Amino acid sequence: MPLTVELIPCLSDNYAYLLYDPAGELCAVVDPSEPGPVRCALAKSGRKLTHILNTHHHFDHTGGNIPLKQEFGAEIVGPEKDRERIPGIDTGVDEKTPWQFGRYRGRILEIPAHTRAHIAFAFEDENIVFTGDTLFAMGCGRLFEGTPQMMWTALSKLMQLSDEARVYCGHEYTLSNGRFALTLEPGNADLQARMKDVERLRSSANPTIPSTIGLERKTNPFLRPNS
């Protein structure tokens, strides 16, 4: 059975994600901003939290770590190079770390720029990648601890994934990102069509996530330096 991902809206515009094998016992939450919405999602799914996965240390991605760990005994997995800033971390990972989530093969991508030790969790066989605050739908993260060259290197690494890979990012910034993208490429037909879909979704307060790597190639100005 395929790995299941459920969106969990948190705070004002954050997304955490519930990740589980429908036929197994493991259940993870990616980047829990706060515990309350995660508890509600777990209760609805009937799952017990076993893992917490952090892409980076910012509080709006780790704020739920300690209360959820205390409540469920979940193992916290995060970037080894930022171990001292990940609340409650148990297991540090980097690109050299062989990593499995139950029967699913995971891959850690080091994508520093937004923060110095930012990582992504990729499940390439499942066409799933959690990009945190590095790659957004039609945008990329701010450079708090990195350089533009570091961001381009990180984005280039993500672009090596399959076009079908579904991108689960950390925030609902798509509408504002798309408006900015249109100022750069007003004649981009793919971008125009995507913005119609985004405006329709957001008018009903529906999420625009996930995106795909292929769609980002066509519409994200930060992946289109030669356009």
Residue 22 has pLDDT above 90, yes or no: no
Q: What is the pTM of this model?
A: 0.96
Which residue is catalytic, options 31, 51, 56, 82?
56
Retrieve residue 45's tokens: 């799914």
Q: Is 51 a catalytic residue?
A: no
Structure tokens at 139: 């945008």
HSE (CB half, 13 Å, CA atoms) of 209? 27
For the chain, how far is it from start to end, CA to CA, in angstroms? 39
31 is catalytic: no
Annotated active-site residue in 51, 57, 118, 171: 171
Sheet-wide strand order for 14-20: 4-10, 14-20, 27-30, 51-53, 75-79, 91-93
- For residue 221, whether the previous peptide bond is cis, meaning omega lies within 30 degrees of 0, is no
| Catalytic annotation present for 61 | yes
The pLDDT tens digits for 163-209 are 999 999 999 999 999 999 999 999 999 999 999 999 999 999 999 99
Q: What pLDDT is stored for residue 225 in this prediction?
A: 76
1 pLDDT more than 80: no
The predicted pLDDT at position 226 comes to 72
Based on the residue annotation, tell me whether 56 is a catalytic residue of this protein: yes
Active-site residue among 31, 51, 57, 58? 58
Which homologous superfamily is 4-221 in? Ribonuclease Z/Hydroxyacylglutathione hydrolase-like (3.60.15.10)
- When pLDDT is averaged across residues 207-213 and rounded to a whole number, the result is 98
